[in-house]
Structure 1
Amino acid sequence: MSESRTHTLFSFGTLRDERVQTALFGRAVPTSPASLAGYTTRPLKITDPAVIAASGLDVHLILERKLGASVEGAVLHLTDRELAAADAYEVDDYTRRRVVLSSGATTWAYLDAKPLRPAERIVVVGDSIAYGRCDPRGGWSGHLAAAHIAGNEAERRLFNLAVPGSTLADVAEQTPALLAARRPDTLLVAAGINDSAVPAAGTTAQADADPAADADPAADSDSDSDSDSDSDSDGTVDFARLTGCLDALAATALGHNARLVVAGPSWLDEDRTRDYEGLRFTRARALALRATLRAWCEANHIDFLDLWEPLRERTELLVDGLHPSAEGHLALYEHLDALGR
């Protein structure tokens, strides 16, 4: 029988109340004062009767990013069971993510479930699709920047640092040096489709096996009926390397007290991408990449924004089978906006 681990959880609201702790955990848990830098709070209307009954309040607080601000609270020391009870107590508007306290220690905290909604300063890194290729208005990132900054022009920023042709390895290597000057609170990583490419001549790609291949074979069965048609001839994606890159990006983001958000690949028209500048892109490999990104995010409590569906079977929104047109970028932005903000 395995021993329960001890977890630390930053609370700035009702979880500090001993009555709430006793109702949830059966005891008042050990706590210590703490401060969370780079955040402020805003009110959130609660409608869940059980949460209202436990806290005695129908308005709770939720964290929002603000450069130079801080939130005072406490760190709770919880067992596995108690952390699960805290997760169940929080309504769907909240999600548990890692944060850095003013002391430099890392801990769990409940943040806004829509990761871009509380952001103030966003850095976008990725490939040509994140860069906005084929759209003179800057692609989906340009639309996101306009909407984000319009909400508070004096304080909000979005920096698009995407580089066409980038792989996740490129992004993981280049990003650390780019962040300090931008002071981001959110790092949006939209890269990886280049990691799924193989030489068009059919040369065998990376030889590492796909650790996610058998994890959930039906997970994407409804996305494309022919999604497995090229899985053997395409070789395999080096998933171990990809997850290593994601681990590095997560550490980089946390080092800047920034929230990591990963955007998955968008749908591609395989019939038009069989020989793209000497590379071959297929739906089977893109779907395998998508599944790996999503699984890694779920396992590591990282936000995943799925961009597959907006362009699915809408080949008219793709310029070359891979890059969205201006209309395609708008469709991606509207979908991402609904998921993230």
Structure 2
Amino acid sequence: MTESRPHALFSFGTLKEAHVQTALFGRTVPAAPAALAGYATRPLKITDPDVIAASGLDVHLTLECRLGSVVEGVVLRLTDAELAAADAYEVDDYVRRRVLLASGESAWAYLDADPLRPAARIVIAGDSIAYGRCDPRGGWAARLAARHIAVNERDHRVFNLAVPGSTLAEVAEQTPALLAARRPDTLLIAAGINDSAVPASAPHETPDGLAGRLTDSLASLAATARDRGARLVVLGPLWLDESRTADYEGLRFTEARALTLRETLRAWCTEHHVDHIDLWAPLHSRPDLLTDGIHPSPEGHETLYRHLTSD
């Protein structure tokens, strides 16, 4: 019986070497030449002695986004066990994520564990919090954009497409048509709490399929990112001050439903190997950093920005 090899893994570094494969898998594995467009490589210092012993090198390569560049490598065809062995081999500086190869095939690759560090062209989509409401400086997104562009003004871009009031479902529906001209390598989805809202007159915790709606929207956004060759990064949600949100313009926002949203995002992203940056802790139990119980004040946005960019 032919052994099933359901996993395509793009390797641009030590995993393509025969002696590394033998050390990890007990043999060399099927491989074919492949290319990854929109990326370049940079060196990464390795300190894990087991990884150094297996590869014979204390400097490996990692990827960074660069429009117009191409990284040559190979596609390895792996079994479940071999993919698990590859995961164990990679150090904490890497995470396994989906990429779109020049051939059009979707494959796994080991990318920088910090999704913002290698990014070049970032699209932000979300609601009024990502838009920067209640902050004349434009919120955490504007601060992130200023920092990002300053690193490399020629090649770095940030496009904030957030629309106040948007749910995740609306973001998933509206975003695909906006990406072609912006050519993002990173799609930053700020999942606020609009999905968790219920009418102020409704029973407090009526089951309504919130988790199912969220996962459908996330799957759609993942497909959009994959088709564009972009890395999907999901942010949020924020803590809210329930004492001020019992009737917010005819809607009610509760901490319990926000926590359901948070846990759904975290579980889905973990299961599907998608980056999730949790924004709950920075403002937790800090009502002084919220202008109305939901939207961060300028100081609150500064706190979120520092959380996002902390090394």
Fold similarity call, TM over 0.5: yes
Alpha-carbon distance in 2 for matches of 1:78, 1:105: 15
Q: Equivalent residue of 2:153, what SS? A: coil
The SS at the match of 1:70 is: strand
Give the Cα–Cα distance (whole angstroms) in 2 for the partners of residues 6 and 194 of structure 1.
38
In structure 2, the residue matched to 1:215 is none
Residue in structure 2 matching 1:249, options 212, 217, 221: 221
8 Å CA contact 1:129–1:324 kept in 2: the answer is: yes
8 Å contact 1:16–1:74 — kept in the other structure?
yes
The answer to whether residue 67 in structure 2 is matched with residue 67 in structure 1 is yes
Query: 1:285: which partner in 2?
Result: 257
Q: Is the 8 A contact 2:192 2:238 kept in 1?
A: no
- Give yes or no for the alignment of 1:258 onto 2:230: yes
Query: What's the counterpart of residue 27 of structure 1?
Result: 27
SS in 1 for 2:135: coil
Q: What is the CA–CA distance in structure 2 between the aligned matches of 1:235 and 1:89, rounded to whole Å?
A: 43
How many Å separate the matches in 2 of 1:129 and 1:237?
24
The residue that corresponds to 2:100 in the other structure is 100
The counterpart of 1:327, out of the listed 293, 299, 303, is: 299
Q: For the residues of structure 1 that align with 2:140 and 2:253, how far apart are their CA atoms?
A: 21
Distance 1:322 1:162 in 2: 16
Q: State how far apart, in whole Å, the 1-side matches of 2:30 and 2:309 are.
A: 39
Q: Which residue of 2 aligns with 1:51?
A: 51
The within-5 A match list for 1:69-88 is 69-88=69-88
**Amino acid corresponding to residue 269 of structure 2 in structure 1:** C
Q: TM-score, normalised by structure 2?
A: 0.97
Residue 267 (structure 1) aligns with:
239
In 2, the alpha carbon distance for the partners of 1:325 and 1:318 equals: 5
Secondary structure at 2:123 match in 1? strand
Deviations 1:285-310 (A, max 9, x none): 00000000010001110000000000
What is the rounded CA distance, in whole Å, between the counterparts of 1:44 and 1:274 in structure 2?
Answer: 50
- Tell whether the 8 Å contact from 1:125 to 1:162 is kept in structure 2 after alignment: yes
CA distance in 2, matches of 1:129, 1:4: 46
Residue 98 of structure 1 aligns to a residue whose secondary structure is strand
Distance (Å, rounded) in 2 between the aligned partners of 1:183 and 1:304? 22
What secondary structure is seen at the aligned counterpart in 1 of 2:118?
A: coil
- Whole-angstrom distance in 2 between the partners of 1:312 and 1:238: 22
| CA-CA distance at 1:238 after TM superposition | 2.2
Say if 1:196 and 1:237, in contact at 8 Å, map to a contact too.
Answer: no
Q: CA deviation at 1:235?
A: 4.1
2 CA distance for matches of 1:129 and 1:332? 11
Deviation sequence 1:125-170 (CA, Å, 0-9, x none): 0000010000011101011001111110111000000000000111
Contact 1:97 1:301 in 2 (8 A): yes
Code of the aligned partner of 1:58: D
Q: Does 1:179 align with 2:151?
A: no
Q: Amino acid of the residue matched to residue 289 of structure 1? A: L
Structure 1: which 5+ runs fail to align? Answer: 205-229
Q: CA deviation at 1:6?
A: 2.2
Contact in 1 for aligned 2:5/2:77 (Cα 8 Å): no
Q: Deviations over 1:272-328 (max 9, x none)?
A: 111100000010000000000010001110000000000011100000000000000
| d(CA) in 1 for partners of 2:208, 2:220 | 22
Secondary structure at 1:274's aligned position in 2?
coil
Amino acid at match of 2:143: H
Deviation at 1:191, TM superposition (A): 2.4
Aligned-residue CA RMSD (Å): 1.1
Kept after mapping to 1: 8 A contact 2:25/2:82? yes
Structure 1 Cα separation of the partners of residues 301 and 33 of structure 2: 46
Q: Percent identity?
A: 72
Structure 1 residue 242: deviation in Å?
1.4
- Contact 1:166/1:191 (CA < 8 Å) preserved in 2? no
CA distance in 1, matches of 2:139, 2:208: 30
Contact residue 195 and residue 237 of structure 1 kept, 8 A: no
Cα offset, 1:201, TM superposition:
1.1
Provide the C-alpha distance between the structure 2 equivalents of 1:299 and 1:115, rounded to a whole number of angstroms: 17
Give the TM-score taking structure 1 as reference length. 0.89
One-letter amino acid of the counterpart of residue 190, structure 1: A
Equivalences, count: 309
